[in-house]
């Protein structure tokens, strides 16, 4: 049986369940007993919203304290004061200066330690309640020694799982096939990024393929193709070539998507194709 901590919807409006260790369960039970005191239930307390400048409805919050005659939730400012006081008592410093903590720092420390300890990034994102993996990446600090150690450990695990004798030297025809795949990636509008060993499912109709990585320098070519397709569409509609009309409308839709992608790459100010040539 695994105890789970139920996190109610927060800023992402998503609920999540976080596995708890036995030590964390004991800590929360101690907090619960302290919050109850001599009562049968946790006393109701209010939370002040510093953004809206209003007090919320009374709830049985675990982390609360008496403020005058009212039971209030421990504020972020009050909690930061406690943490930084403990840091001073512990003598924590950086370059001779006292370390200043915020409660959010511990969330970042957890994410960094978990990912560097081998926890997959998508699992860390689920525990933190992130909807985007890029958000989780911003929480973690990856150091070169961690990168090298983790990569070596991964390679060693993969080697142990492979059948004995599989790690043979590739033959000349196998190398030739492998190199040929990457030579065929270069197309008129950019590069094909389909996985190795897979066929071209669109029969080289690259404008319809999601594996195409558009070269911004080919935006003029895409504009010409779009203009040509639109002219052909007018003719097809005039002559009632309905099959041609449907095919051209589909082509124009994908051409406009390619136009948008090329314009976005230009607006970002970087062209990976030009950089590769310079290298």
95 occurs within a structural domain: no
Do the domain assignments include residue 235? yes
**Domain boundary at 74, 97, 120, which?**
74
Last residue of a domain, one of 25, 59, 74: 74
Q: What average pLDDT does the structure give for the chain?
A: 82
Q: Considering 51, 74, 97, which residue would you say is the last residue of a domain? A: 74
The verdict on residue 22 lying in a domain is yes
Owning domain of residue 182 = 177-278
Number of domains in the chain: 2
* pLDDT beyond 90 at 154: no
Say if 105 falls within a structural domain: no
Q: Is residue 119 part of a domain?
A: no
Residue 199 lies in a domain: yes
Asked whether the predicted pLDDT for residue 202 surpasses 60, the reply is yes
Q: Which is nearest to 45 in space by CA: 75, 74, 71?
A: 71
pLDDT, greater one: 135 or 241: 241
240-249 b/e with 16+ CB inside 10 Å = b? eeeeebeebe
């Amino acid at each position: 049986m695994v105890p789970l901590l139920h996190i109610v919807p927060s800023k992402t409006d998503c609920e999540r369940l976080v596995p708890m260790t036995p030590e964390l369960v004991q800590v929360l039970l101690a907090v619960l007993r302290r919050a109850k005191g001599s009562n049968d239930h946790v006393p109701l307390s209010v939370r002040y919203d510093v953004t809206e400048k209003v007090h919320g409805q009374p709830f049985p919050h675990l982390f609360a304290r008496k403020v005058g005659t009212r039971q209030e939730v421990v504020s972020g400012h009050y909690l930061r004061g406690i943490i930084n006081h403990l840091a001073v008592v512990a003598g924590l410093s950086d370059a001779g200066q006292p370390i200043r903590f915020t409660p959010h720092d511990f969330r970042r420390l957890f994410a960094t330690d978990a990912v560097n300890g081998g926890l997959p990034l998508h699992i860390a994102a689920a525990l933190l309640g992130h909807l985007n993996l890029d958000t989780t990446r911003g929480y973690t600090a990856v150091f070169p020694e961690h990168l090298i150690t983790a990569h070596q450990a991964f390679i060693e695990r993969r080697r142990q799982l492979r059948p004995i004798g599989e790690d043979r030297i590739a033959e000349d025809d196998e190398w030739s096939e492998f190199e040929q795949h990457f030579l065929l990636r270069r197309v008129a509008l950019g590069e094909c990024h389909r996985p190795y060993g897979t066929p071209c499912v669109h029969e080289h109709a690259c404008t319809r393929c999601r594996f195409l990585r558009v070269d911004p320098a080919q935006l003029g070519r895409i504009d010409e193709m779009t203009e040509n397709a639109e002219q052909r569409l007018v003719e097809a509609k005039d002559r009632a070539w309905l099959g041609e009309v449907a095919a051209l409308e589909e082509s124009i839709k994908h051409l406009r998507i390619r136009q948008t992608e090329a314009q976005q790459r230009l607006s970002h100010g970087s062209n990976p194709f030009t950089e590769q040539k310079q290298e």
